[in-house]
Structure 1
Amino acid sequence: MQHSFLFVPGNRPERFIKALDSGADAIIIDLEDAVADAEKAAARTAIMQAVFARPDVLVYVRINAVDTPWFLEDLTVLEHAGICGVFLPKAEYAENITQVRAQVRAQAACRVIPIIETATGLCHAQEIARASGVERLAFGSMDFQLDMNCDGSDTALLYARSQLVVISRWAGLLAPIDGVTLAMDDESRVVADARHAKALGMGGKLCIHPRQVGAVNTTWQPMPEEILWARKVLAAGGAAGANAVAVDGVMIDRPLLHKAQRILSRSQS
Structure 2
Amino acid sequence: MIESAAALLAAPAIAAHPATRRLAFGTGDFRRDTGMADDRVALSWPRAQLAVASAAAGIAGPIDGPCGPVERARDAAEHAAAIGFTGTLVLREAAVPGAHAGFTPSAAEVEAARAVLTEVPDGPVDGSYAPALARARALVARAEALSRL
> TM-score normalised by the shorter chain: which range applies?
0.7 to 0.9
- By percentage of residues, which structure has more strand? 1
Report the 3-state secondary structure (helix = DSSP H, G, I; strand = E; otherwise coil) of the residue aligned with 2:119. helix
The 5-angstrom pairing of residues 227-246 of structure 1 reads 227-237=110-120, 243-244=122-123
Q: Which residue of 1 aligns with 2:17?
A: 131
Q: Which residue of 2 aligns with 1:155?
A: 41
Alignment partner of 2:76 out of 175, 193, 210:
193
What is the alpha-carbon distance in structure 2 between the residues aligned to residue 211 and residue 142 of structure 1? 20
Identity %: 33
The CA RMSD measured in Å over matched residues stands at 2.1
Report the 3-state secondary structure (helix = DSSP H, G, I; strand = E; otherwise coil) of the residue aligned with 2:88. strand
Alignment partner of 1:253 out of 112, 116, 129:
129
**Cα offsets for 1:5-38 (capped at 9, x unmatched):** xxxxxxxxxxxxxxxxxxxxxxxxxxxxxxxxxx
Which stretch has the larger CA shift, 252-261 or 195-204?
A: 252-261
- Shift, 1:259, TM fit: 3.1
Alignment partner of 1:262 out of 138, 142, 148:
138
What is the alpha-carbon distance in structure 2 between the residues aligned to residue 254 and residue 128 of structure 1? 27
Q: Which has the larger radius of gyration?
A: 1
2:76/2:102 contact within 8 Å kept: no
- By percentage of residues, which structure has more helix? 2
1:181/1:190 contact within 8 Å kept: yes
Q: Which residue of 2 aligns with 1:144?
A: 30
What is the alpha-carbon distance in structure 2 between the residues aligned to residue 234 and residue 126 of structure 1? 31
2:62/2:87 contact within 8 Å kept: yes
- Shift, 1:127, TM fit: 1.9
1:117 partnered with 2:3: yes
Q: Calculate the TM-score normalised by the size of structure 2.
A: 0.83
Cα distance 1:170–1:195, how it changes in 2: closer, same or farther (>3 A)? same
Give 1:135's aligned amino acid: R
Q: Which residue of 1 aligns with 2:94?
A: 211
Q: Calculate the TM-score normalised by the size of structure 1.
A: 0.48
Give 1:253's aligned amino acid: Y
2:75/2:102 contact within 8 Å kept: no
What is the alpha-carbon distance in structure 1 between the residues aligned to residue 105 and residue 140 of structure 2? 8
What is the alpha-carbon distance in structure 2 between the residues aligned to residue 182 and residue 261 of structure 1? 29
> What are the ranges of 5 or more consecutive residues in structure 2 without an aligned counterpart?
none
1:231/1:260 contact within 8 Å kept: yes
> What are the ranges of 5 or more consecutive residues in structure 1 without an aligned counterpart?
1-114, 246-251
